[in-house]
Structure 1
Amino acid sequence: MPFDLDRYQQLRTSTRAGAEVHYVEHTGSTMDDARAGASSDGVASCGRAYVAGEQSAGRGRQGRTWVSAAAAGLYATYHLCPPSIERAPLLSIAGAVAALEAIEATSGLRLELKWPNDVLHEGRKLCGVLAESRIDGGRVDAFLGVGINLRSQPDLPPEVHAIATSIEAAGSAVLAREDLLAALSTALEPRVEQAAGASEMLLADWRARLGTLGRRVALATPSGAVDGEAVDITASGELVLRLDDGSTRAFAAGDVTTARPHAGEGPSESAGNPG
């Protein structure tokens, strides 16, 4: 299905994020497209959004594959140029908050975040965010990938259906990709600026929407699984768990594989990656 660039530009109010869109119907990965564009065009590519109707090798967190069927989702990667490599990790947080805001604004759904950057509807994953960065000739290149499930994909494995959802499955009308990308670019721009300045507001807004906090979780880390209660987030975005022995420990990376509410709270949170 063709992407209506004119409609997108009419709806977008950002001045840099997504001011230019590179759209293709089919690609391997928009993340790879963005990396190639940054290599060939340099600083002129900063802010550009690389969008595809379908990906054959879309990437998710932790080396997973992001299933990216035609017309089933919005698949985009933004090339961003943060002022320093130290600021690049905050772009993942900026992307998660902006994606949540954009989806809520256009769909009317109420969403929450799962640490570090998954967007959930009623405990099931609706959107994923992936951030990568590099230094190229003294310039910091950051690549922010966003995958939003618009429609259900009936041919997905049952185990994926159990943890994933879509805007359609959540009960909202299926959104036009142009409308959703315009809302995403508009929401992303101020969040990127906050990330560049290490704004406390960005971290506060992210923390306020994290459904992970206050729950008993099992965190899968590179060194093994850790159980504990998610009690806090550090200034650098690490998840703080209170372990069974009463001590606390901060984790910079990992997957929240289960999150069980305290007694009296709502249903358990599912976790995972829809692709």
Structure 2
Amino acid sequence: MASDSAFDHERYASLRGGGRIGVRVHAVASTTSTMDDARAGADQHGAEGCGDAYLAGEQTAGRGRFGRRWVAAPGAALLVTFQLCPAAGPHTPLLSAAGGLATAEAVGAACGVDVTLKWPNDVLAGGRKLAGVLADARTARGGVEVFLGIGVNLQEAATAGLPPEERARATSIEGAGATPPDAEMLLASLAQALERRLEQIEREPSAFLEDWRVRLETIGRRVQLAAAGVDAGAAGVVEGVATGVTQSGELTLRLDDGSERSFAAGDVTTL
């Protein structure tokens, strides 16, 4: 893949400043998937690539949560995957939440759009999805590698290829009434916010959880949850009131029979 000459690395570096996350950016005009690029880059660079960002102007085979396709017109979305190398520990499940919270903060800082989060990490503007996060983990070299894929809809063209029912639930920075920032500015803001939140998870996980909970518009609402992963077989689709999140980021629901259950993964719809 050819590098993307449209991405201004020098300007980005001046905006990003020092740190660990997103200091080195591998930018291409088009790719099948930034997640695949990040995995291949990690295979090549190993631990030296920890924190690297893999950016593309277009994805031809991008994917979201639960195997959904991530479709966007060329240049209409910020598409990036970060290679993370966290210390193995109980906070690894929170990295996906960190991606969602950092994205919400970056969008707000870069263009002033008022956004919230739908558990666990969908970024919403006016109740419609503006950005999404996908975390994929693997063991490597005796540790854990997490690939955090983030897609932010910049222009309304980013939603044009979606099925009608999905397009009705989607929006963009442009659709929210703001001028989309350039890739250098938004990526720098995102990398800074992500680094802050990852450090907070390590130092003060309880404070991170509270900051995340405050942003979650899901809490206190009656929702339907289509359970996934280990919860899917036993739970299927359940309804209840979202009462909070656990220390590992699971969503807690108070069911109609008065009992409470926590779910590690699932697709939430507000009723």
Whichever residue aligns with residue 248 of structure 1, its letter is E
Q: Does the CA contact (< 8 Å) of 1:14 and 1:185 recur in 2? A: no
Report the counterpart of residue 196 of structure 1 in structure 2: 202
Other-structure match for 1:273:
none
Q: Which amino acid in structure 2 is aligned with residue 19 of structure 1?
A: V
* 1:43-84 per-position Cα deviation (integer Å, ceiling 9, x unaligned): 110010000010011110111111132111000000011010
**Distance in structure 2 (CA, Å) of the matches to 1:200 and 1:14:** 26
Q: Out of 108-117 and 10-19, give the one that drifted further.
A: 10-19
RMSD, aligned α-carbons: 1.3
Q: Give the equivalent residue in structure 1 for 2:139.
A: 135
Note the C-alpha offset of 1:199: 1.6
Structure 1 residue matching 2:145: 3-state secondary structure: strand
Q: Which stretch of structure 1 is more off in the superposition, 85-94 or 217-226?
A: 85-94
Shift of 1:172: 0.2
Correspondence 1:139-158 to 2 at 5 A: 139-153=143-157, 154-158=160-164
- Map 1:202-213 to 2 at 5 A: 202-213=208-219
Cα distance, 1:162 vs structure 2? 0.7
Please give the secondary structure, in 1, of the residue aligned with 2:220.
coil
Measure how far apart 1:195 and its partner are: 2.7
CA drift at 1:41: 0.7
- Is 1:250 the counterpart of 2:262? The answer is yes
CA distance in 2, matches of 1:174, 1:106: 8
Q: What's the counterpart of residue 259 of structure 1? A: 270
Compute the TM-score of the two structures, normalised by the length of structure 2: 0.92
SS of the aligned residue for 1:231 comes to strand
Counterparts of 2:25 and 2:90, CA distance in 1: 27
Using the alignment, how far apart are the partners of 1:112 and 1:14 within structure 2?
A: 28
The answer for the alignment partner of 2:183 in structure 1 is 177
Superposition map of 1:40-189 within 5 A: 40-84=44-88, 86-153=90-157, 154-189=160-195
Unaligned runs of 5+ residues in structure 1 are 261-275
Q: CA deviation at 1:155?
A: 4.0
What 5-or-longer segments of structure 2 have no aligned partner? none
Tell me the SS of whatever aligns to 1:26. Answer: coil
Which piece of structure 1 moves more, 182-191 or 196-205? 196-205
Count, aligned residues: 259
How much does 1:139 deviate? 2.6
Q: Cα deviations across residues 141-187 of structure 1 (Å, max 9, x unaligned)?
A: 11111100001123432112111000000000121111100100111
Letter in 2 for 1:238: E
Instruction: Return the TM-score normalized by structure 1.
Output: 0.91
Tell me if structure 1 keeps the 8 A contact 2:37–2:54.
yes
Note the C-alpha offset of 1:11: 0.7
Greater relative contact order: 1 or 2 (C-alpha under 8 angstroms, separation 6 or more)?
1
Amino acid at match of 1:246: G
How far, CA to CA, are the matches of 2:18 and 2:149 in structure 1? 18
